[in-house]
Structure 1
Amino acid sequence: MIDAVDRKILNILRNNARVPNAEIARTIGMAPSAVLERIRKLERRGVIERYEARVNPKAAGLGLTAFTFVHVEEGVGTMDTGQKLAALPEVLETHYTAGQAAYLVKVRVGDTEALAEFLQRIGKIPGVRDTNSTIVLRTIKETASIPLAAPPED
Structure 2
Amino acid sequence: MIDALDARIVRLYTLEPRISVLEASRQLGIARATVSSRLEKLQASGAIRSWAPSLDPGSFGYPVLAFCFLTIEQPHGHDRVVDALVDIPEIIEVHTVSGESDLLVKVAARSNSDLQRVLDAMAVTEVVVRSSTVLALNTHFEARTLPLFEAAAK
In the alignment, structure 1 residue 15 sits paired with structure 2 residue 23: no
Quote the Cα distance in structure 1 between the aligned partners of 2:97 and 2:56.
28
Inter-CA distance 112–78: structure 2 relative to 1 (3 Å threshold): closer
Query: Which residue in 2 is equivalent to 1:27?
Result: 27
SS at match of 2:74: coil
TM-score (norm 2): 0.87
Query: Which residue in 1 is equivalent to 2:150?
Result: 149
Bigger proportion of residues as helix: 2
- Matched residue type, 2:103: Y
Name stretches of at least 5 consecutive residues in structure 2 with no aligned partner. none
SS at match of 2:82: helix
- Matched residue type, 1:72: I
Q: CA deviation at 1:60?
A: 0.2
Quote the Cα distance in structure 1 between the aligned partners of 2:89 and 2:75.
25
Are 1:69 and 1:103, in contact at CA under 8 Å, matched by a contact in 2? yes
Per-residue deviation, residues 117-150 of structure 1 (Å, max 9, x unmatched): 0011100112210110011112222235443226
- Matched residue type, 1:143: A
Inter-CA distance 107–28: structure 2 relative to 1 (3 Å threshold): same
Query: Which residue in 2 is equivalent to 1:74?
Result: 74
Query: Which residue in 2 is equivalent to 1:4?
Result: 4
TM-score (norm 1): 0.87
Moved more, 71-80 or 123-132: 71-80
Query: Which residue in 2 is equivalent to 1:56?
Result: 56
CA-based RMSD: 2.0
Query: Which residue in 1 is equivalent to 2:103?
Result: 103
SS at match of 2:60: coil
Q: CA deviation at 1:41?
A: 1.8
Aligned structure 1 segments of 4 or more residues deviating by more than 6 angstroms: none
Query: Which residue in 1 is equivalent to 2:117?
Result: 117
Inter-CA distance 42–60: structure 2 relative to 1 (3 Å threshold): same
